[in-house]
């Protein structure tokens, strides 16, 4: 008889020896490589820390918001296609695209940056004319802005950085 255990990411019942990893002397199995990768990126989101429950164990979402600024505006047909492609992904809570701006909210427990970037590139390839690279660049630029923003938080008070 097969031993089934719960995938900590999507909570599906999976075979004990399917896409397995050991973490903190605990055995985990996953329904897919995507769930395994999501877990590896942020295991504490799913299994918590010693003495603390994880957001998943508490039934919470971990909502992340991204705003991407494109070098060139999308046509209305392209806006619709980008929105639909992202909405079809698990974990995407909201998406808007207008001109040179794409905004999205997603649950970090269900979707990650690499998956979203990959989906944007797939859509860009369908658009042709360099769109895959434009969408990827907007995504990477967002991450750079976030890193700069995170660094600014840790600067000493009295140091003023102009905001763009």
Q: β-strands 26-28, 21-23: how paired?
A: antiparallel
Q: Return the percentage of the chain with pLDDT > 70, whole number.
A: 86
Q: Are residues 41 and 67 in the same domain?
A: no
The pLDDT tens digits for 44-102 are: 888 887 788 888 778 888 888 889 999 899 999 999 999 999 999 988 999 999 999 99
Report how many domains make up the chain.
2
- The pTM (predicted TM-score) of the whole model is 0.65
**Look-up of token digits 């957001």:** 55
Q: Are residues 76 and 143 in the same domain?
A: yes
Q: Are residues 138 and 76 in the same domain?
A: yes
54-59 contact pairs (CB < 8 A, 24+): 55/109, 56/8, 56/9, 56/109
The pLDDT tens digits for 7-26 are: 988 888 999 999 999 998 88
- Is residue 58 domain-resident? no
CATH number for 116: 3.30.70.100
The domain in which residue 38 lies consists of 4-47
- Is residue 42 domain-resident? yes
Q: Are residues 9 and 80 in the same domain?
A: no
- DSSP calls for 71-138: SSPPPHHHHHHHHHHHHTSTTEEEEEEETTEEEEEEETTT--HHHHHHHHHHHHHHH-TTHHHHHHHH
Compute the mean pLDDT over every residue in the chain, rounded to the nearest whole number: 84
Q: Write out the two tokens for 13.
A: 């019942």
Q: Return the percentage of the chain with pLDDT > 90, whole number.
A: 43
- Is residue 56 domain-resident? no
pLDDT of residue 94: 94
Angle at 102 between CA 100 and CA 104, to 5 degrees: 170
């Amino acid at each position: 008889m097969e031993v089934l255990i719960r995938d900590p990411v999507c909570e599906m019942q999976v075979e004990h020896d399917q896409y397995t990893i050991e973490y903190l002397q605990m055995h985990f199995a996953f329904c897919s490589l995507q769930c395994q990768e999501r877990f590896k990126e942020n295991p504490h989101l799913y299994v918590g820390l010693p003495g603390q429950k994880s957001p998943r164990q508490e039934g919470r979402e971990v909502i992340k918001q991204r705003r991407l600024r494109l070098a060139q505006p999308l046509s209305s047909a392209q806006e619709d296609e980008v929105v639909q492609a992202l909405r079809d992904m698990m974990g995407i809570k909201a998406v808007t695209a207008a001109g040179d701006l794409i905004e999205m909210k997603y649950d970090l427990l269900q979707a990650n940056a690499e998956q979203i970037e990959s989906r944007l590139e797939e859509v860009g390839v369908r658009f042709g004319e360099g769109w895959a690279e434009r969408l990827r660049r907007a995504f990477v630029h967002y991450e750079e802005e976030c890193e700069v923003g995170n660094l600014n938080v840790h600067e000493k008070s009295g140091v003023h950085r102009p905001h763009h």
